[in-house]
Structure 1
Amino acid sequence: MKLLLNINKENEDLGKQASNSANILPFNTLLNYCLSILFLACSFITQAQNLAPDAKKYILGDITVKGQTSFSEQTIVAYSGLRKGEEIAIPGEQISDAIKKLWKSNLFNDIDIYVTNIEDNVAYLEIRLADLPQLNELKIKGVKKSKFDDIIKENKLDKGAKVTENLITTTKNYLTNKYKKDGFLNTKVYINTIEVKDSLPTSRVNMVINIDKGEKVKVKDINFSGNEVISDRQLRKSMKNTKQINPIRIFKRSKYIADDYKEDLESLIDKYKENGYRDARILSDSIIYNNDKTISININLEEGEKYTFGKIRFIGNTAYPDALLNRILRIKEGDTYNGVALSKRIADNSKPDANDITNLYQNSGYLFSTINAVETSADNNIIDMEIRITEGKPAYFNRVSVVGNDKTNDHVIYRELRTRPGELYSKANVVRTVRELGQLGFFDAQEIAPNFKNPNPVEGTIDMEYSVKETGSSQIELQGGYGGGGFIGTLGLSFNNFAIKDLFHKDAYKPIPMGDGQKLALRLQASRFFQTYSFSFSEPWLGGKRPVQFSTSISHTKQFLYNYLNRRPDKSKSFNITGITFGLAKRLSVPDDYFVLSQAIGFQRYDLNNYNTGLFTFGDGYSNNFSYTIGLSRNNTSVDPIYPTGGSNFSIKAKFSPPYSLFNKVDYAGLKDERSDEQAIINDVNTTNTQKQAASDRIAEIDQERYKWLEFYKVNFKADWYTQIVKDLVLRPSVEFGFLGAYNNDRGIIPFERFFVGGDGLGNFSLDGREVIQLRGYPNQSLSTQDGGTIYNKFSLELRYPITLKASAKIYGLGFIEGGNSFDNFRDFDPFNLKRSTGVGVRIFMPAFGLLGIDFGYGFDNVPGSTGANGWETHFIIGQQF
């Protein structure tokens, strides 16, 4: 009290001095006054702490530990920081600090320290505590099992974890906020712990987490205030993710997701910036909970005034003239101010290959360039701007490396790189490298990442590291379905990253030689009516120096004649086909290096053994098919070959045989006339059976001569486009066309190499050159005649959306509309006479099994020979057919 009185006395004297100075306190006096008060206050607090009336100093004697704990007494005393023989004040800071240290260890609870005895000047202490319980078992209720691992990992709820009040609270808050962000605004989380009673010294508890997510909250309405220039409807439309309830909307649900809503608020301001209102802002936004368990969103806006662009100057550009930069910027003086367009034309972060000024510089080596738009004047709502460019020093690649390839050999990857040490940096080449690595099919396309290392603006160098994650590149094909008159089973083995050079190296079998990027496939397909065996091999870089692909395939099939009486195969009547093909495909450099020129030579031998059908007039004999195929294709689809999100893929292919009729000196016109005469004998009702049989035998001889060496030409065209509409929603239109013709009309169109339209393609078992054109919503091959069509066209429109694109399984759903048809000759061809269908489907890609899927298609038109719409068909899809 004495100290406090002295302070008050000094204050009183200072106050009198101030009064005597005409109520004016000099600065020095005021400063000294404040410092004196601060010093005296600190001294008073310090003395009050150190001189507590009941504090007394002792020498610390023994320290004992009691309580349920698995730690030794020595360990606990060490944690506390107390030491026998040291001087302590009781009560005092040392005891408080010891309790704090034990709490901070996160090992104990119920911590107390007691004085058990005092002898002379020696104090004896006892620490009483209990171990924090360990987590024994964890049960999670209210969510799918697939979410358990994430919950355990994110909250550190592994068995043996110390269960503290903080752990329970943070886990509860984490789960509540997690599901609220996903739109479950009414999420409630309950956590209970139950002590495990057993003989073990360690305290353990079982934990039960019960998560009640409730229903996702729907947005009943979105209301705006303060907007006059842009209507409520336009503003709601600009909010891409948050939508109010609308029963006719299909692709966007009216669920409230916090992160999406935050993004949509930015989209509202962007909408104003696109229309010249650069000062627009959101004054407030609020969420109102309605009685029907929905919410209403109220957004209060301030629009501001409309602006236009004034003069735009480029500052600092030496590499490119103003004229070129203006062509890319595409903004003129007097245009309505559009802040969104301005930003994107300087640097469009949504498109890595966008036509913007930043990419112009980065594709020419200026990695370290910076480009900023600065407003220099806004008088009279006219914004003058300067585009300030710091070009920096051109950058060159120093080191280029790849990490993550455990199976694929380095040379397979490095030959696909478009960025090499010593070359000028180009962002376009980095993007192209990522695409090429994804197109290999050996890596998870979603996980390929270019990492910039050691950027050095002074020396103008950059190291590039591509990170990849390998996926299973070998596939097992197991297929079953009905087609060709019975059940068809397929077993195939595809090794898409094979290494034939290690074929005789025992150590390379893990389980097969891999890593050189070659493809090896073995396939067996069979039913009661046929057996097919095939082998194929391809080397994508023949010689290892240039992207020239060499491929070869060998195949053999044996078909048995169908007996319509007992519906069984007649194995005494067979049709054997043996074929071999060699091909080369070369990547071109012009018009660009997305183009590939392919060429192939093939030979097929058709042997008929008492195989009499409508397809041939001879049942015993053979035909030879020697052909040359040339094709031009261009594929610039984006990174993931399973789920492309951009680009296009088109191909045109011509296949033809030598024109034998020009040099084999066979009178095909005479054979045609003779055949007509023999057919007339067969059709004559007055002809005897013996004469008919003789005429039939002669027709077989004529056709054997016509088809001894097949003469034909065939043209195919196919094109696909991929457009990303919203996020990962992709639109895929496609068109197909095929035509089979003959050099010599007297010889006619061959019965092979024809088109069979309709179905899912599982009936494509024959190796006679036929092409099965899938058209969902109709039975297999039902839209062509028995012998197949010679011309077809098909149009398709498909909308795709991914469910997951993880490496273990890529899954996406789709909806489609398509139409197509086949025709027997060009005179009947009508590209608008289509068999139409629509439907939905799903695709699942697993590295071990390839692409699997199922489609449900509805055919709007009739199948030839029937009336009315065909209706619903179910199709099982194997491989990337559509």
Structure 2
Amino acid sequence: MEKLANNLTNRLKNTSLGLFLIPVLLFAQVAIAQPTSLESSKEYILGGIEVTGLQSYNEQTVKTYTGLRVGQPIRVPGEELSGIIKKLWNLDLFSDIAFYHYIEGDKVFLQLQITERPTLSDITVYGVKQKKVQGILDDTDLKKGKKLTKSLIANSKGYLENKYRKQGYLNTQVSIATAPDTVGTNSEKMVINVKKGEKVKIDEIEFVGNEKLSDKRLKKSLKKTKQKKFYRFWKKSKYIEDDYQEDLDNLIDTYAERGYRDARVVSDTFVQVNENNIKLKIEVEEGDKYYFGDINFVGNTVYTDRELAQVLGVKKGDTYNGVLLKKRIADNSKPDAIDLTNLYQNNGYLFSQINPVEISAVNDTIDFEIRIIEGKETFLDHVTVNGNDKTNDHVVFRELRTRPGQKYSKENIVRSVRELGQLGFFDAEQIVPDIQNPNPDAGTVDINYNLVEAGSSQIELQGGFGGGGFIGTLGLSFNNFSIQNLFNKEAYKPVPMGDGQTFALRLQGSRTFRVYSLDFSEPWLNGKKPVRFNLSFSRTQQFLANFSNTGRIEVNKDRSFSITGVSTGLAKRVQWPDDFFTVSHSLGYQYYDFNEYNLGLFNFGNGSANSITYTFGLSRSSQGPNRIFPMSGSNFELTAKFTPPYSLFSNKDYGAITDRVEELTDTARERTLTTQEVNELENLEEERFKWLEFYKVKFKGDWYTNLVGKLVLRTNAEFGFLGNYNNNIGDVPFERFFVGGDGLGNFTLDGRDVIQLRGYDNSSLAFTSFNPSTRSTDREGGTIYNKFSLELRYPLTLKPSASIYVQSFLEAGNAFNNFQEFNPFQLKRSAGVGLRIFMPAFGLLGIDFGYGFDDDNINPGVKSGWQTHFIIGQQF
């Protein structure tokens, strides 16, 4: 203002008015608030313009932005100056804008006085966890460099209070203060203090006006809004506004399911009991109870009235159920639901429309018309995929149930999503079928499957205790291998990939054993049909281990037992009873070699045995869509393993051989056998088991039930039996069932199955047997086992980088020596909790804490108690 006054004085010295002429100051705000007629304004030549009050902006920049230039004609007062002020205000950079002017002849001189808004230089938030601060700043758009305004502060305060009140913190108080920052120019610091207090709980829920449905029934319908009870653990009694509003809709649905279609909530209020408790009062108007009358179908030509009525499942005289009626028309909660919409869409009628219409309501009976516009039959025009950067197109397309030219089928799309998810090459949570270019007139539609590649190769690291010590596994598993590019150098990235084959190399071992294996499988033999070909080689070595006087395990690698095996198999997906079934066949050969090695299971320490097996398998797998965390469906497998009945074609007197073995065994219990007797015993045992003969039947079933949200119940049942053809030979000393522990001890030494039963030591539900050669007691597995388990699973995250879920479990199982001892209800029980983490590069990692309620078979009379099990490796 001082500069303006000086300029004014200098210019007025030479005018005739002299010092009697005083400056006329007009604020822009007044000019806008009190419009002046164009007749009272006058046009001048702009003699000069000056900008004052700037702190961080360049004066010339502001002048340029106004669009004013010296020498131009301008009307004062006028719309041009008002427009400039509005333009500057819209920048939201200034808190005050005013024009001053004085006139000299036909010229006008302007001064633009500006007050800049302060800049936010720093934000500090109190009362919130540090990891959530950034989310608050993002939501409120508070960031360094932001211009501070009163509305920004007020909006931020209101947003935060509403945010936490919606989460149940009804007493939330937010204060925001600013202070000048001496470090920067025209900048201010901000401090946000959030006082959430405790979540407000519901002390009581009171219903008014309900006569037909009890308070208990109505409270049960409020799924997420519960009043305080000392016994309630799973569902809290905290008041959450969004959940409460959703539950009011559930309340009306509860009435609608029981025939009260006119029921409504008249009012809902809450009364503050104290600072942390409220009382909800819900007044309802129930109305009358209604029943279904006549239900007629109109417009249907593809399906008869009878067929549609069967799917609808609603009959005349049934209690009116509006919720059920909607679900039977179109159940949006299940993509594969049995409803009328899916009935049409699974048969090509994508553009069909089905609308239930009330045509009359007489007394308590409502008549309906189900009006159907079937539309034109729809066919698939183009089917495309994208996102499969590593996996070749033919691997994806062969799993699709949708082909160009086929009828549109929602069922086939859902099944295609499941099959792609089961491959394990893509993130199952992000497989999205995109319906494109629908053309009702032409009856065509396109489908594009959006895929996100997931890690399919794994470095397998597995660990557990068993077999005489810590068992470690190191392996490379390439689950999307391409053998045809094995000699193509350009395909190594780092290995040939993309054809969906599996190639695995595995080394497993401890101080007492080693296992080497190689596996290859092709899921589509010749690339035309879903016939899986499998070829595997393996070799295992077991070294003799004994406890020394100090209690340590001493391993003698000069005394060993080894198995060399090869197997090949074919598995074909069949169409009956449905196309979830697979039939498999495999042939295997194992060579057992003993080198001064004795265990209780087999009494010959030197020699060899042979086994040729045929395995038939029948399985059905409909679990999905995510193979890591299935949420629905089931998976069961029945296998039967046989060897030829060699003894039927032999002249050997196996009865005499077995009698002599038992005689020598009884002698060994009384005294140490002579060298000659030991040699005789070993020769008899080798002769008895030179060619192994047995049959082995196993069943395993898993069922997945989606309870609520992503909470899943896994139900499991297992059974196994090992039998023989000739009682004079008895059960073979291999292929036994070892129950108990983490299930990781299955180093396939002798074809054994190690069955997981948490809460017990590894293989502790086995038995002991007397070894007459060494007069020692050794552990052997059972010939029969059964197991049942229930698991509640809940995912914490299902991202491609890591899938994590928690679980609680109840398990029961046991192993038995023979059918005479078998009792399916004589089970060892356990319970516990666990955590699973799946990372594509390393497989499944986990930990379980299990409590065994009973004693095991090795230490009778001693309750197992708490056991910790570490799970490392690829297991589902």
1:827 partner SS: coil
Query: Which letter maps to 1:554?
Result: F
Paired with 1:287 and 1:171, the residues of 2 have a C-alpha distance of 27
Query: Which letter maps to 1:354?
Result: A
Paired with 1:316 and 1:50, the residues of 2 have a C-alpha distance of 69
Match of 1:696 among 661, 678, 689: 678
Mapped contact 1:804–1:811 kept (Cα < 8 A): yes
Mapped contact 1:799–1:815 kept (Cα < 8 A): yes
1:290 partner SS: strand
Match of 2:225 among 217, 242, 255: 242
* Closer, same or farther: CA 729–369 of 1 in aligned 2, 3 Å: same
1:807 partner SS: coil
Query: Where does residue 27 of structure 2 map in the other structure?
Result: none
Paired with 2:651 and 2:797, the residues of 1 have a C-alpha distance of 63
1:97 and 2:83 aligned: yes
Deviation at 1:166, TM superposition (A): 4.3
Deviation at 1:270, TM superposition (A): 0.6
Deviation at 1:682, TM superposition (A): 4.4
Paired with 1:130 and 1:584, the residues of 2 have a C-alpha distance of 83
1:651 and 2:633 aligned: no
1:780 and 2:762 aligned: yes
Mapped contact 2:95–2:117 kept (Cα < 8 A): no
* Closer, same or farther: CA 836–239 of 1 in aligned 2, 3 Å: same
Alignment of 1:222-233 (within 5 A): 222-233=205-216
Query: Where does residue 49 of structure 2 map in the other structure?
Result: 63
* Closer, same or farther: CA 861–210 of 1 in aligned 2, 3 Å: same
* Closer, same or farther: CA 609–243 of 1 in aligned 2, 3 Å: same
Paired with 2:840 and 2:119, the residues of 1 have a C-alpha distance of 41
Deviation at 1:280, TM superposition (A): 0.4
1:583 and 2:569 aligned: yes
Mapped contact 1:82–1:98 kept (Cα < 8 A): no
Paired with 1:728 and 1:318, the residues of 2 have a C-alpha distance of 40
Paired with 1:111 and 1:304, the residues of 2 have a C-alpha distance of 61
Alignment of 1:577-726 (within 5 A): 577-679=563-665, 682=668, 692-726=674-708
Alignment of 1:125-274 (within 5 A): 125-129=110-114, 139-144=124-129, 146-147=131-132, 150-157=135-142, 160-192=145-177, 196-198=181-183, 207-274=190-257
1:662 partner SS: helix
Deviation at 1:821, TM superposition (A): 0.5
Paired with 2:131 and 2:386, the residues of 1 have a C-alpha distance of 30
* Closer, same or farther: CA 225–670 of 1 in aligned 2, 3 Å: same
Paired with 1:872 and 1:299, the residues of 2 have a C-alpha distance of 48
1:753 and 2:735 aligned: yes
1:830 and 2:823 aligned: yes
**Offset from partner CA, 1:113-156 (integer Å, 9 cap, x none):** 33365322222223343665555555555445554554454444
Paired with 1:225 and 1:88, the residues of 2 have a C-alpha distance of 72
Query: Which letter maps to 1:774?
Result: Q
Deviation at 1:582, TM superposition (A): 1.7
Alignment of 1:194-593 (within 5 A): 196-198=181-183, 207-565=190-548, 566-593=552-579
Mapped contact 1:483–1:780 kept (Cα < 8 A): yes
Paired with 1:82 and 1:539, the residues of 2 have a C-alpha distance of 78
Query: Where does residue 809 of structure 1 map in the other structure?
Result: 802
Deviation at 1:602, TM superposition (A): 1.9
Mapped contact 1:395–1:462 kept (Cα < 8 A): yes
Query: Where does residue 34 of structure 1 map in the other structure?
Result: none
Deviation at 1:626, TM superposition (A): 2.1
Mapped contact 1:756–1:788 kept (Cα < 8 A): yes
* Closer, same or farther: CA 577–180 of 1 in aligned 2, 3 Å: farther
Paired with 1:227 and 1:486, the residues of 2 have a C-alpha distance of 67
* Closer, same or farther: CA 175–411 of 1 in aligned 2, 3 Å: farther
Paired with 1:424 and 1:357, the residues of 2 have a C-alpha distance of 17
2:48 partner SS: strand
* Closer, same or farther: CA 693–196 of 1 in aligned 2, 3 Å: same
Paired with 1:114 and 1:161, the residues of 2 have a C-alpha distance of 26
Paired with 2:43 and 2:410, the residues of 1 have a C-alpha distance of 73
Query: Which letter maps to 1:500?
Result: I
Query: Where does residue 877 of structure 1 map in the other structure?
Result: 871
RMSD: 2.6
Mapped contact 1:682–1:692 kept (Cα < 8 A): no
Paired with 2:71 and 2:229, the residues of 1 have a C-alpha distance of 79
Paired with 2:154 and 2:644, the residues of 1 have a C-alpha distance of 81
Deviation at 1:309, TM superposition (A): 1.2
- Count of equivalent residues: 831
Mapped contact 1:376–1:386 kept (Cα < 8 A): yes
Structure 1: state its 5+ residue gaps.
1-44
Query: Where does residue 8 of structure 1 map in the other structure?
Result: none
* Closer, same or farther: CA 47–855 of 1 in aligned 2, 3 Å: closer
Query: Which letter maps to 1:607?
Result: D
1:413 partner SS: helix
1:763 and 2:748 aligned: no
* Closer, same or farther: CA 414–160 of 1 in aligned 2, 3 Å: farther
* Closer, same or farther: CA 308–83 of 1 in aligned 2, 3 Å: farther
Paired with 1:743 and 1:251, the residues of 2 have a C-alpha distance of 54
Paired with 2:801 and 2:753, the residues of 1 have a C-alpha distance of 32
Deviation at 1:717, TM superposition (A): 0.4
Deviation at 1:182, TM superposition (A): 3.0
Paired with 2:644 and 2:130, the residues of 1 have a C-alpha distance of 64
**Higher mean Cα deviation, 494-503 or 729-738?**
494-503
Query: Where does residue 9 of structure 1 map in the other structure?
Result: none
1:826 partner SS: coil
Q: What is the TM-score when the length of structure 2 is the normalising length? A: 0.90
Query: Which letter maps to 1:741?
Result: G
Mapped contact 1:110–1:128 kept (Cα < 8 A): no
Paired with 1:657 and 1:635, the residues of 2 have a C-alpha distance of 27
2:226 partner SS: coil
Mapped contact 2:844–2:875 kept (Cα < 8 A): no
Paired with 1:69 and 1:496, the residues of 2 have a C-alpha distance of 64
**Offset from partner CA, 1:479-524 (integer Å, 9 cap, x none):** 3332222222222332222223333333333333322222222322
Paired with 1:280 and 1:258, the residues of 2 have a C-alpha distance of 22
Paired with 1:116 and 1:504, the residues of 2 have a C-alpha distance of 86
Paired with 1:659 and 1:133, the residues of 2 have a C-alpha distance of 94
Paired with 1:836 and 1:555, the residues of 2 have a C-alpha distance of 35
Larger relative contact order (Cα-Cα within 8 Å, sequence gap ≥ 6): 2
1:436 partner SS: helix
Query: Which letter maps to 2:87?
Result: K
Q: Percent identity?
A: 57
Deviation at 1:584, TM superposition (A): 1.6
Paired with 1:209 and 1:599, the residues of 2 have a C-alpha distance of 69
1:121 and 2:115 aligned: no
Mapped contact 2:696–2:720 kept (Cα < 8 A): yes
Q: What is the TM-score when the length of structure 1 is the normalising length? A: 0.89
**Offset from partner CA, 1:626-683 (integer Å, 9 cap, x none):** 2121101001113111222211111100111222222344332232233344445545
Query: Where does residue 24 of structure 2 map in the other structure?
Result: none
Mapped contact 1:754–1:770 kept (Cα < 8 A): yes
Paired with 1:848 and 1:168, the residues of 2 have a C-alpha distance of 47
Mapped contact 1:81–1:101 kept (Cα < 8 A): no
**Offset from partner CA, 1:252-308 (integer Å, 9 cap, x none):** 122222222111111100111111110000111122333150222111111111111
1:738 partner SS: strand
* Closer, same or farther: CA 81–109 of 1 in aligned 2, 3 Å: same
2:213 partner SS: coil
Mapped contact 2:436–2:448 kept (Cα < 8 A): yes
Query: Where does residue 17 of structure 2 map in the other structure?
Result: none
